[in-house]
Amino acid sequence: MIIPRPQKINLLNEKGYSIDSIFDIEDLACNEIQDTTLPNEGYILAIKENMVELKYKDHIAKERAKASLTQLVKTCGQEIPAMIIEDAPKIQMRAYMLDVARYFFSVEEVLKQIDYLALYKFNTLHLHLNDDQGWRVEIKAFPKLTEIGSIRRRTLFRLKEHKGYYTQDDLRKIVDYAHSKGIRVIPEIDVPGHFQSAVASYPEFGCFNRNVRVAENFGVKFDVACIGKENTVDAIKTIIKELMSIFTDEYFHIGGDEVPSQRWELCPHCKQKYLALGCKNYNEFQAHFMNELGAFIINNGKTPIMWNESNPTGIIDERIVWECWDIDYNNEKFQKEIARGRKIINAKTEPYYLDLPYGINNLKRVYDYEPLVFEENLIGVETCLWGELLPNVKTARKKTFPRLLAVAERLWSNEKDYFSFEQELIQHNKILETFGVKPTPKWLYNPTGIVKIFSKLWWARRVLYWAGLPNIITNAKIKKKYGR
């Protein structure tokens, strides 16, 4: 019937609501009453013979109730059994990240993704909007970011151009649509690393003003933002400021992940600033920059988020939320930060990165994982779809489903029962098929034997690009030119 499983279902011993073969929830006779005393996103549905009665906290809760009704209509056949559902989520922020930077997703595809998220009661969409391989948002102050930065000459999969970006009107449309479904949107501008598409557009944003191309292969690129130059830092603030007026929700993500320091170590501007700040290492150098941006975002009335991993320095402003892909109760770095009052979002790579193969993050592993860590400081949990190896929407969907449903259940429901979840999934395949999502067979989503081994090998080959032979060659050239 319903995924995620509602907190309480009371089946009534009476006739249910009969539905015709052509159905839409708009056709249901529904008696709606607002009840602001219900918990956040909470609703109560009473399904009777000719009438559905709905109590809901607010418009967001109403969307959650609508998702339950849509699923009932689509899975129950002729009659929805008479029942009372009382429901509200376990975890307050249930998020999904879509990487639109590596490969562009059209506005229509993003809206469709919002439909899926609403149907499975997620309330947060995080958009990873720029990376080495592409800049996807129109910025009025810096038009070359999209004129140049949104186009790459080829990709790992094809010797063909790939391009695309959202105009500011497109972005407003996405945000408005998400809000209509009770979903907030978190934009991410990833700085100072993963910034090569911006440096390709404006060479002066990087160290040495070098002409680089939008990255054509994958991996962590060395041409990061030159944070030794005030002009670059100001430009980044201008970009964020433009986007803050479009993305009207509370959070703004500033990336901060995987920042190699090779350019900074040779750049005269960076060296000068590094000394002026009295840094002991380049993690600290980056930390000063993240703190400056964090304060800028807070002064503009929003809450900054950053990926946590590169900053074990203990000097990151504790008002910046950490999104953690390696969260662990036993890790001293986290224990210290929690003690300082750091708020966190759990986005643990294994099992919540949906781009990882099923041989690593299989459906059962995703379902079984306990997402509540450091509960006192946890503001949410996120599952991420990175685009490095997903050259089209079809592959992206295969990775997302059915794992998204497993995450949905564990973030919403207090009950946990893998066996019955898997039974429900069969019903939900019908719903997904009406959306054009082909069901992933069990031998693929919980692979064993040779399929599992193959799946792991396929993933391992990615390391070749990630460590980056192209990086090593370029870096050697730059050292020769600018190094002492």
Q: Is 210 in the site for Zn ion (CB under 5 A)?
A: no
Dihedral of CA 166/169/173/179: which sign?
positive
Is the CB of residue 253 less than 8 Å from the CB of residue 189? yes
Beta strand 94-99 pairing with 124-128: parallel
Give the binding range for Zn ion (CB under 5 A) out of 139-147, 196-204, 270-278, 369-377: 270-278
In 115-211, DSSP assigns E strands to 124-128, 130-131, 134-135, 151-152, 162-163, 184-191
Is the CB of residue 200 less than 8 Å from the CB of residue 152? no
Residue 267 touches which of ligand ACM, Zn ion, none (Cβ within 5-8 Å per kind): Zn ion
Residue 306 touches which of ligand ACM, Zn ion, none (Cβ within 5-8 Å per kind): none
Residue 269 touches which of Zn ion, ligand ACM, none (Cβ within 5-8 Å per kind): Zn ion
Rg (CA), the chain: 24
In 333-482, DSSP assigns E strands to 344-346, 378-385
CB atoms within 10 A of CB 355: 21
**Residue placing its CB nearer to Zn ion in the complex, 207 or 404:** 207
Paired tokens of 7: 């907190």
**Residue placing its CB nearer to ligand ACM in the complex, 249 or 309:** 309
Applying CB under 6 A, the residues found at the interface with ligand ACM are 257-258, 307, 325
How near is the Cβ of 228 to Zn ion at its closest, in Å?
Answer: 4
How near is the Cβ of 307 to ligand ACM at its closest, in Å?
Answer: 4
Give the binding range for Zn ion (CB under 5 A) out of 12-20, 115-123, 236-244, 266-274: 266-274
Is the CB of residue 369 less than 8 Å from the CB of residue 348? yes
**Residue placing its CB nearer to Zn ion in the complex, 271 or 319:** 271
Query: CA distances (Å), 125 to each of 40, 265, 273, 326, 374, in order?
Result: 18, 36, 36, 20, 23
**Residue placing its CB nearer to ligand ACM in the complex, 28 or 320:** 320
Give the binding range for Zn ion (CB under 5 A) out of 199-207, 251-259, 385-393, 423-431: 199-207
C-alpha span between 61 and 66 (Å, rounded): 9
Taking CB under 5 A as the criterion, the residue among 8, 172, 269, 462 binding Zn ion is 269
Paired tokens of 150: 């949104």
Query: To which residue do tokens 């070098």 refer?
Result: 210
Is the CB of residue 107 less than 8 Å from the CB of residue 98? no
C-alpha 341: how far from chain center:
24
Residue 456 touches which of ligand ACM, Zn ion, none (Cβ within 5-8 Å per kind): none
**Residue placing its CB nearer to ligand ACM in the complex, 1 or 189:** 189
Instruction: Print the binding letters for residues 211-230 with Zn ion: x by CB under 5 A, - otherwise.
Output: ---------------x-x--
How near is the Cβ of 438 to ligand ACM at its closest, in Å?
Answer: 28
C-alpha span between 98 and 187 (Å, rounded): 10
**Residue placing its CB nearer to ligand ACM in the complex, 258 or 265:** 258
Residue 325 touches which of ligand ACM, Zn ion, none (Cβ within 5-8 Å per kind): ligand ACM
Q: Is 267 in the site for Zn ion (CB under 5 A)?
A: yes
C-alpha span between 184 and 354 (Å, rounded): 20
**Residue placing its CB nearer to ligand ACM in the complex, 193 or 228:** 193
Residue 374 touches which of ligand ACM, Zn ion, none (Cβ within 5-8 Å per kind): none
How near is the Cβ of 355 to ligand ACM at its closest, in Å?
Answer: 10
**Residue placing its CB nearer to ligand ACM in the complex, 257 or 317:** 257
How near is the Cβ of 144 to Zn ion at its closest, in Å?
Answer: 20
How near is the Cβ of 256 to ligand ACM at its closest, in Å?
Answer: 9
Is the CB of residue 383 less than 8 Å from the CB of residue 349? no
Q: Is 270 in the site for Zn ion (CB under 5 A)?
A: yes
Residue 249 touches which of ligand ACM, Zn ion, none (Cβ within 5-8 Å per kind): none
Query: Shortest Cβ contact with ligand ACM: which residue?
Result: 257
Give the phi and the psi of residue 428 in degrees, each rounded to 5: -75, -20
How near is the Cβ of 114 to ligand ACM at its closest, in Å?
Answer: 22
Residue 290 touches which of Zn ion, ligand ACM, none (Cβ within 5-8 Å per kind): none
Pick from 91, 96, 100: nearest CA to 116: 96
In 1-152, DSSP assigns E strands to 8-11, 17-18, 30-34, 43-47, 52-56, 79-80, 83-87, 94-99, 124-128, 130-131, 134-135, 151-152
**Residue placing its CB nearer to Zn ion in the complex, 262 or 400:** 262
Give the binding range for Zn ion (CB under 5 A) out of 76-84, 191-199, 261-269, 330-338: 261-269
How near is the Cβ of 39 to ligand ACM at its closest, in Å?
Answer: 32
Interface residue list for Zn ion (CB under 5 A): 207, 226, 228, 267, 269-270
